[in-house]
Chains A and B, each alone.
Chain A
Amino acid sequence: MGYIAARGGTTAIINAEQLVEYLRLQGGSTPLELIQIRDQLRHAVGRAMNEGALYAPMLAALAVKQAEGDSIEASFLLRAYRSTLSRIMPTLPISGEAMRCMRRISASFKDIPGGQMLGPSQDYQIRLLNNLIASETAESVTAVLAAYEQLVDAGMSADGAIGHFPKVADYMRQQQMIAPLPAEPDTSEPYDITRTAISFPCPRSARLQSLSQGDTGCLLTYAYSSVRGYGDAHPTLAELRFGYLPIQVAHPLTGEAITIGEISATECEIVSKAHSVAAKQSTPRFNLGYGFTFGHGEVKAISMAILDSVLTQAKAKGLSGESGPAANEEFVLLHSDGIEASGFTAHYKLPHYVTFEADLKVLDRAREHTTTQSQSRLQEIATRTQEASA
């Protein structure tokens, strides 16, 4: 049996698992604690949660550790874990207005009701490597914390109200810049792509669910393509907010709304100039796109909002010029899941001996065919030459 290739699979895969563990630990450094990952790698944790479609910071920290920082692998671990949990009940609809904001900005107006709040942002940092955090000590950490707490005390508002702001989109609705909300809110349960396979055309709730668990890099690429030139997106950021959202469910017996906790989340709304061509609308208005992620994921939320807006306009035939690949809903939604895309791309590592052998046979026949064809062509030319000279 010695000459059958790739046998002994069992031993090989168990050894491979051990080697991965060894590589992670061989440097002898102190093992990372989950709490350190949760607090100090919060973007990695947030990305694992939103692409893994499960809000669980400590489990996400574990996933990031186990995946050695690979974001798709970490979200894959969380997704697989999610399948083992039964879906108990949907939460009640929440509005971003309920968010306890740490940050909210608008690019549409200089001043907005409630004011701009920059919050925790790296946007205006000069991107120089910071040597100071390379050598942090307990003392330096204490000093940083104390300095910030002084700031907080000084800036505390008199009434103690923190972080609640009206929505810029609501102001825009009042001013009839964007379409009003429907008189009767849609109370039907949203589409759940984990329960029913997505089919096209799909409802907007399926699109939003699909985008919000999409790969950040992928959404970014599609949204960017649409604003750079392969599309008709002209977004303006109405509002971007990051903070804590309370989550409520209906009590199973009384139906009463009960808050079960809060999640850290990013919400984004963009307006896009759809008025020029959306013929069906009675009054020309801007189109609104919506983006949402667990954790602090601004680029993803903005990309999602742009794509939502582009796809809504594409459906309403409101785009002009070349609409580009990002306006193709099926194309965007079926290729933006990082876990699916990476799984399938990686599957080419699996053995394909059988299919390759079959391909070889077809190649042999094609070669034979080409040889016969060129031989018969040569013969034809020879015959013609003979005829001509005769």
Chain B
Amino acid sequence: MTTTFQPPSLFETFCTATFRVLLDCMARPGTIGQIPEPSMFTNIPTITIDQQPVIANRFALTSCLSLLDQETRFAQAANSSWIDPQSDINRWVQLRSNCRLSDAPNAQFVYLWDSASSALLHELNPGTLTFPEQSCTAFIAVPEINHTEPTWRLQGPGIDGYCDVGVHGVVADFVTHINATRAHFPLGIDIVCIDTHGKCLALPRTCQISLK
């Protein structure tokens, strides 16, 4: 059969592969997926926290970016505070995705540079009873995710009974902040945690977390 399509670009290939990982992880909370290497993205600007340059988790930032376009509003935060829309890092995301930069309550996607910023989750839009899908999705960079040293027990749709998973190097009240976003289903924030190696754990609002 004749095929009549243009081969996808590197970026398009990355977006599709990343989406399939997100899809699998979102459908099966507790599954740890591997985000592909975002090799087409170089020179991600650093940000400064306490006069120290901080490097983004390239897997977490670019997998969030893979879902953005001109129809989406985006914001990001580090060290528990929102980053200025005019900053280099926000301009960098905008230039590559065409997204609109936004304040927290109107953002449809946010990238949180660290688990400490989970304290800001309550500022995000949880949707409404009639349109719960208009809620925000948060990508959060965490140091390490594994199955070998479980710290959390997950339950909810997508999980056969329960599933244990280890999320390491996060602030003590991380789980409290996340569970607070899903106290009023169907309202809620859907969360994707990605570690420094690109290991991905999705926590849709249906997923309840208890500490092991």
A residues lining the B interface (CB < 8 Å): 195-196, 199
B71 CB–A CB distance under 8 Å: yes
User: What interface size band does chain B fall in?
Assistant: under 10
Separation of A199 and B131 alpha carbons in the complex (Å): 10
Chain B 151-169 per-residue mask, 1 if CB under 8 angstroms from chain A, else 0: 0000000000000000000
Interchain residue pairs A-B with the least CB separation, the first 3: A195-B71, A196-B71, A199-B131
Secondary structure dominating the interface of A: loop
A123–B71 Cα gap in the complex (Å)? Answer: 45
Q: List 3 A-B contacts (CB under 8 A).
A: A195-B71, A196-B71, A199-B131
Contact bitstring B70-108, A, C-beta under 8 A = 1, else 0: 010000000000000000000000000000000000000
**Bound CA–CA A199/B133 (angstroms):** 13
Return chain A residues, CB-CB under 8 Å to B71: 195-196
Instruction: List residues of chain B with CB within 8 A of the CB of A199.
Output: 131
A196–B108 CA distance with the chains assembled, in angstroms: 14
Please provide the chain B residues from 58 to 77 with a CB less than 8 Å away from any CB of chain A in the complex.
Answer: 71
| Distance of A199 Cα from B134 Cα, bound (Å) | 13
Query: Chain B residue with minimal CB distance to A199?
Result: B131
CA A195 to CA B98, docked complex, whole Å? 15
Q: Within 8 Å CB of B131, what residues of A?
A: 199
Nearest CB of A to B135, in Å: 15
Chain B residues with CB under 8 A of A195: 71
When C-beta atoms are compared, the residue in chain A nearest to B71 turns out to be A195
Cα A293 to Cα B131 in complex, Å, equals 33
**8 Å CB interface, B17-71 against A:** 71
CB under 8 Å from chain A, chain B span 110-151: 131
Q: How far is B69's CA from A195's CA once the two chains are assembled, in angstroms?
A: 11
CB-nearest residue of chain B to A196: B71
Q: Within the complex, what minimum Cβ distance (angstroms) separates A351 from chain B?
A: 23
Residues of B within 8 A of A196 (CB): 71
Q: Please give me the residue from chain A that is nearest to B69 by CB atom.
A: A195
Q: In the assembly, what is the distance between CA of A113 and CA of B125, in Å?
A: 52
A135 and B71 CA atoms in complex are apart in Å by 55
B1 to chain A, nearest CB (A): 10
Whole-angstrom distance between the Cβ of B98 and the nearest chain A Cβ: 11
